[in-house]
Amino acid sequence: MAHVDLQTGEDVTVWRILEDGALPDEAGEWLVPLGRLKDEAGSLLEEKGVRIGALIETDTPHSDLAGIGNYASFAAIRFPGFGDGRGFSLAVRLRKDYGFNGDIRAIGHVIPDQAQFLLRAGFNTSEVPEERREAFVRAVNRYKHVYQSDTQGGISVLRQRHDQAGARRVS
Amino acid sequence: MYAYDTFDHAMVNARVEEFRDQVARRLSGELTEEEFRPLRLMNGLYLQLHAYMLRVAVPYGTLNSRQMRRLAHIARKYDKGYGHFTTRQNIQYNWPKLVDAPDILADLAEVEMHAIQTSGNCIRNVTTDQFAGAAHDEVADPRATAEIIRQWSTFHPEFSFLPRKFKIAITGAPKDRAAVKWHDIGLVLKKNETGELGVEVLVGGGMGRTPVIAKTIANFVPESEMLSYLEAILRVYNEQGRRDNKYKARIKILVEDTGTEEFKRLVEEEYEAIRAGFIDVPAEEVARIRQFFAPPPLPVLADEDAGLDALAAADFRFRAWVKNNTFAHKVPGHVSVTISLKPHGGIPGDATDAQMDLVADIAEEYSQDEVRVSHEQNLILPHVAKRDLVAIWQKLDAAGLGAANVGLLTDIIACPGLDYCSLANARSIPIAQAITNRFDDLKRLEDIGQLKIKISGCINSCGHHHAGHIGILGVDRKGEENYQLLLGGSGEEDASKAAILGPGFDEHGIVDAVEKVVTAYMGERKEGETFLAAYRRLGPDVFKEAVYGAR
């Protein structure tokens, strides 16, 4: 599995997951389940070279994300299956309601055909099977325009039509 | 009607290329069938009993002659020479090949059509009143609003993997011809006291195994903030709708479980947070879209026409067609014509390529180049001068499209059923055919009057049996097809759920039972009382006795 930047397809640092109460044994980026992170917010102080992020499951109520910026500098949303659309709303909420500016990564089962949706919902990196890296890059660049404005600066064509002289068809 | 600009064209063209890529990746094994399935569904491609089925979107049921000719071309080139118009105002093809699907989509894109989001757990094609823009009773043309929703809901990054499918219907008239109360979201266009346009929002309607009539959660949302309101509903549903059981995943279950008041509170909380944001459409864009739906320039004509009167006096069938198949228009001297796709003994909603071409020709010559598809599975010529009715009827009748039965007992809605559908438990089409064979006398049908029969071949209720004045539901009983009889449903503004009358029947018994119900109604009705009104007055007992004998 590669971890890639959704916009460029280039490699980014792989985040490792601290399951079952384990502690980080070396420097690097570590994901801690959101619940534990909140419980142990004080004790998981980032050691030298250790950076902690939140591991968020798709069934997390969005209100549990409140204050996340205080104890996580990045976040991963784990998709149990690519059809679980709750992950998209969680990312939207992180950006829109909880002012989260850190890296948001999709991990678990997402497919290349969702790449642009992920990016537009607020994710900027994703876990990608190596053989699908190219398909992810193709997908993220497929649509040049969008029908909705989004939290990531995407401007809907319904607005663009009135900002761009000459973009409209002369009938 | 709406015309694509360069943005819209770019969007559907990119979609065609994307699907071509997805099909290639599936064929090479790069995509698993589990992964490919929702992607092909969101391009309208189902795997059915015998073959793939392609469902093409007809946004809010409106198309022009060029588009209709293209639908005919697709039926000829890629199918067996016919298509099936559906209760969702779309058209389905029953015999396309997977490898042809990208080419079909490319052919559609050339004429500003597509199959985007006609299936899958996403926001589906928005449906509306088939007489929109022509109806004498409408507050505003709902199609401009529907087009705004179409664009907002297309490739929505957050709402393309919902718990389940999501259907929105909108009406611009107090008389509900779009069955808004039976949809996940129903919208009713209204003007407030200052003349501002807005929508009443109903939520949580639906059929399937748990029929529910939608409830109003907002009496008036200004059109300028409508998308924010819809976005709030969809966000709450996407987050909280059940994903553990597909039979409990529709929004109707969430609304029932949460309670309408609490659901409304959740939606309004989100709406308040986002209404001042970037979601809604700028006023100049609303105006741009609305001008595509400006009323056509129709001359005010005399309401009387000598030629029409002469033929009506001489030919009973024509007289009945004018009476049953035309609907009052805003402009004097004009009507909307419903072309019945319910010929005697035929398959409800089917049309051949030649019939589609003919309808396209007639629409071009006589109806401002416009055709509509209705949720009753008929085609509509929205803007017709009365003086042209004789010529139109003669052309339609010669092509087997002259049935004068709109709104009558044989204007039956039926799903494809076990003849095509992999979900069905029983056949629907032969039941519809048997009923039309039993009631084959137009004078008798006219005497019976307004009566909507709706037939579904399984509990998913694509044939809308819950909303039938007489509903028929095919079920599987120990390996045999069995048909339940339901009475008293309505899909209009007085929406009601049909109730099961008693034990089911075999395929012959159900036709007898329908006849007994009709006979009982004829015996009990008051002057001018429709079947539905009589049923509501009398209750089920009279009909139980007629069908099952004295208890």
Contact B199, B188 (CB under 8 A): yes
Pairwise CA distance, residues B429 & B507, whole Å: 11
For A81, name the nearest residue in chain B, comparing CA atoms only.
B35
Element (H, E) at B285: helix B283-291
Q: What is the pLDDT of residue B191?
A: 97
Q: Give how far Cα B493 sits from Cα of A88, B198, B214, Å.
A: 36, 18, 11
| Inter-chain touch A162–B18, beta carbons under 8 Å | no
Pairwise CA distance, residues A56 & A99, whole Å: 16
Pairwise CA distance, residues B79 & B77, whole Å: 6
Q: In the predicted model, what is the mean pLDDT of chain A?
A: 91
Place of tokens 């029953």: B94
Q: Which two tokens stand for residue B215?
A: 């409830």
Helix (H, G, I), strand (E, B) or coil at B210: coil
Helix (H, G, I), strand (E, B) or coil at A51: strand
Element (H, E) at B390: helix B389-398
Q: What is the pLDDT of residue A46?
A: 66
pLDDT over 50 (residue B62): yes
| Interface mutation vs chain A, best among B158, B165, B243, B270, most A CBs within 10 Å | B158
- The minimum CA-CA distance between B150 and chain A, rounded to whole Å, is 9
Pairwise CA distance, residues B453 & B88, whole Å: 17
Q: Is A135 on the interface with B (CB under 8 A)?
A: yes
- The minimum CA-CA distance between A89 and chain B, rounded to whole Å, is 6
Place of tokens 């409106």: B62
DSSP state of B13: H
Q: Which two tokens stand for residue B171?
A: 């009406």
Residues B36-60 pLDDT 10s: 999 999 999 998 888 899 999 999 9
Percent of chain B clearing pLDDT 70 (strictly above): 100
Percent of chain A clearing pLDDT 70 (strictly above): 91
Q: What is the pLDDT of residue A164?
A: 60
Q: What angle do CA B95, B43, B426 make, to 5 degrees?
A: 50
Higher model confidence: residue B34 or residue A45? Answer: B34
Pairs across A and B, CB distance < 8 A: 120
Q: What is the pLDDT of residue A166?
A: 41
| Interface mutation vs chain A, best among B239, B242, B243, B244, most A CBs within 10 Å | B239
Q: Is B239 on the interface with A (CB under 8 A)?
A: yes
Q: Give how far Cα A123 sits from Cα of A6, A101, B12, B38, B234, Å.
A: 8, 11, 25, 22, 20
Q: Is B21 on the interface with A (CB under 8 A)?
A: yes
pLDDT over 90 (residue A54): yes
The type of residue at B360 is: A
| Inter-chain touch B238–A89, beta carbons under 8 Å | yes
DSSP state of A40: T
pLDDT over 70 (residue A42): no
Mean pLDDT within A53-62: 97
3-state helix, strand, coil in chain A (%, to 5): 30, 25, 50
For B13, name the nearest residue in chain A, comparing CA atoms only.
A143
Element (H, E) at A36: helix A34-39
DSSP string, B365-384: HHSTTEEEE-TTS-EEEEEE
Q: Choose the closest CB to B10 out of A139, A145, A149.
A: A145
Place of tokens 């092509």: B399
Q: Is B155 on the interface with A (CB under 8 A)?
A: yes
pLDDT over 60 (residue A167): no
Residues facing residue B469 across a β-bridge: none
What are the strands of the beta sheet with B350-352, ordered from one edge? B45-47, B52-56, B91-93, B82-85, B350-352
| Inter-chain touch A160–B284, beta carbons under 8 Å | no
Pairwise CA distance, residues B521 & B488, whole Å: 12
3-state helix, strand, coil in chain B (%, to 5): 40, 20, 40
Helix (H, G, I), strand (E, B) or coil at B264: helix
Residues B361-374 pLDDT 10s: 999 999 999 999 99
Contact B496, B489 (CB under 8 A): yes
Q: Give how far Cα B130 sits from Cα of B135, B177, B271, B286, B456, Å.
A: 9, 7, 30, 21, 22
pLDDT over 70 (residue A169): no
Q: Exposed (0-12), middle (13-18) or buried (19+): which is B509, by Cβ within 10 Å?
A: middle
Give residues 44 to 63 of A whose Cβ lies within 8 Å of B.
61-62
Residues A121-130 pLDDT 10s: 999 999 999 9
Q: Give how far Cα B133 sits from Cα of B120, B160, B201, Å.
A: 30, 30, 21
DSSP string, B454-516: EEESSTT-TT-GGG-SEEEEEEEETTEEEEEEEE--B-STT-B--EE-SS-B-TTHHHHHHHH
Q: Which residues contact A148 (CB under 8 A, 6 or more apart)?
A: A120, A154, A156, B152, B156, B157, B279
Pairwise CA distance, residues B204 & B161, whole Å: 18
pTM, two decimal places: 0.96
Q: Exposed (0-12), middle (13-18) or buried (19+): which is B195, by Cβ within 10 Å?
A: exposed
Helix (H, G, I), strand (E, B) or coil at B159: coil
